[in-house]
Amino acid sequence: METKLIQTTDPHDERLRGVGEILRRGGLAAIPTETVYGLAANAFDEAAVRGIYRAKGRPSDNPLIVHISAFEQWQALVTEVPDRAKKLASLFWPGPLTMILPKSERIGPVVSGGLSTVAVRLPSHPIARAVIDFAGVPLAAPSANTSGRPSPTRAADVLEDLGGKIDAIVDAGPCSVGVESTVLSLCGSVPRLLRPGGITPEMLRAALGELEIDPAVFEQLQSGEAPASPGMKYKHYAPRAEVVLLKGSFDAFRNYVLSHADEHTLALCFTEEAALLPVKTVTFGSEKDSLSQAQRIFEALREVDRCGANRVYARFPAMDGIGLAVFNRLVRAAAFRIIEL
């Protein structure tokens, strides 16, 4: 299949109408969002949605997020929109927050991965919203990467993973948040954070008054344990090299790397540290700026692969604000290997 490439930052670009048309008719297109690039299909077309799982090599029990372009489209997808969900939508939509509620019969089992719930998000990216509007239907869209690889934050990443497998890629430049959306379940009595992202626990707690953080955000699930979010049981974001997170000061990190490195070792460090390390480095943002780390982390993990390293020592990020999302992605890339220095 030939993958059509469309470069635009103009939501009124007529070519986006064509992308909407492709999607409405059951095709697959990668689109930019403020978080990462998404691989979209008509959420009401189960055959089209099956194509997403096939193109990504995604396990069929890992449900997809449904993207809408206006608040009113939500009601048809869920059994009810409770008051606390309305409040969060008014505060954080459009934006990088996904909310899980019991699904309506409009949502089929392929989208929901067989669950009785559905995850919905109203993105802020003008191109994403224009494509949803042109399609005239909600779009199921997971990250537009091959399953298990780092998520794509640039169109070139999508092309690398999915070129020739999907109908179109819309390129609007790099994503501004850089990590996938915050996933929040509103199905239980207390709201539960299943995946950290751009809307932080601090912001959610201030809005809701209460919030549980699923243990799978921090720790590896025990084998056989059923995760609240099926995506959390899969190996994720992993480069081919073995990544190890080193927890401690920069001096301790430098000493450890000095005594353990060989020519195939790489340091994944903060921008300001690269010149101070005696080995090859890939940087992921500034130490004091968690947003810059979020914007860089997936690109950095892809760079690690391009360098051909077989072992990567990574700096441990601060875990407040969006830093929790950076930690969550990095610790999965490291398959939970952490060494306390």
> What is the binding site for Mg ion (CB under 5 A)?
142-143
Decide: 65 and 122 in contact? Cβ < 8 Å: no
Work out how close the CB of 142 gets to ligand AMP at its nearest, in angstroms, rounded to a whole number.
3
- 155 versus 269: smaller Cβ distance to ligand AMP: 155
Q: Which is nearer to ligand AMP, 65 or 282 (CB)?
A: 65
**Closer residue to ligand AMP (CB): 109 or 248:** 109
Parallel/antiparallel/unpaired status of strands 192-195 and 182-185: antiparallel
**117 touches which of ligand AMP, Mg ion, none (CB within 5 to 8 A by kind)?**
ligand AMP
Nearest distance in Å: CB 117, ligand AMP: 4
Residues 139-158 that bind ligand AMP (CB under 6 A): 142-143
Per CB under 6 A, 301 contacts ligand AMP: no
Cis omega before residue 94 (within 30°)?
Answer: yes
**Residue 194: which residues within 8 A CB-CB, separation 6 or more?**
100, 183, 184, 185, 214, 216, 217, 228, 229, 232
> Which of 42, 112, 281, 290 is in the footprint of ligand AMP by CB under 6 A?
112
Sheet holding 212-213, edge to edge: 4-7, 168-171, 29-31, 38-42, 139-140, 65-67, 117-121, 97-102, 182-185, 192-195, 212-213
Stretch of residues binding ligand AMP (CB under 6 A), selected from 58-66, 300-308, 310-318, 328-336: 58-66
Binding mask 155-194 for ligand AMP (x = CB under 6 A): -------------------------x--x----------x
* Distance of alpha carbon 156 from alpha carbon 174, whole angstroms: 10
Tokens of 240: 């081919």
Contact with ligand AMP (CB under 6 A) among 31, 49, 85, 115? 115
CB 138, CB 107: distance < 8 Å: no
Q: Which residue has tokens 């092309």? A: 159
Q: Which is nearer to Mg ion, 142 or 239 (CB)?
A: 142
Stretch that binds ligand AMP, among 114-122, 205-213, 290-298, 326-334 (CB under 6 A): 114-122
Q: Which is nearer to ligand AMP, 8 or 143 (CB)?
A: 143
* Interface region with ligand AMP, contact rule CB under 6 A, candidates 62-70, 238-246, 294-302, 306-314: 62-70
Q: Output 103-107 pairs: Cβ under 8 A, ≥24 positions apart.
A: 103/77, 103/78, 103/79, 104/76, 104/77, 104/78, 104/79, 106/44, 106/76, 106/77, 107/43, 107/66, 107/77
Q: Residue 230 touches which of ligand AMP, Mg ion, none (CB < 5 to 8 A by kind)?
A: ligand AMP
Q: CB 156 → Mg ion: shortest distance, Å?
A: 18
The gap from C-alpha 209 to its chain's centroid, in whole angstroms, comes to 26
231, 285, 317, 323: residue in contact with ligand AMP (rule CB under 6 A): 231
CB nearest Mg ion: which residue? 143
Whether 139 contacts 41, CB under 8 Å: yes
Pick 232 or 291: Cβ nearer ligand AMP: 232
Nearer to ligand AMP, 130 or 140 (CB): 140
Which run of H or of E encompasses 24? Answer: helix 15-24
Can you read off the two tokens belonging to residue 101? 């509620």
Question: Can you tell me which residue has the tokens 């007529």?
Answer: 14
Binder of ligand AMP out of 163, 230, 248, 321 (CB under 6 A): 230
Closest by CA to 60, choosing from 108, 112, 121, is 112
| Residues making contact with ligand AMP (CB under 6 A) | 62-65, 100, 112, 115, 117-119, 142-143, 180, 183, 194-195, 229-232
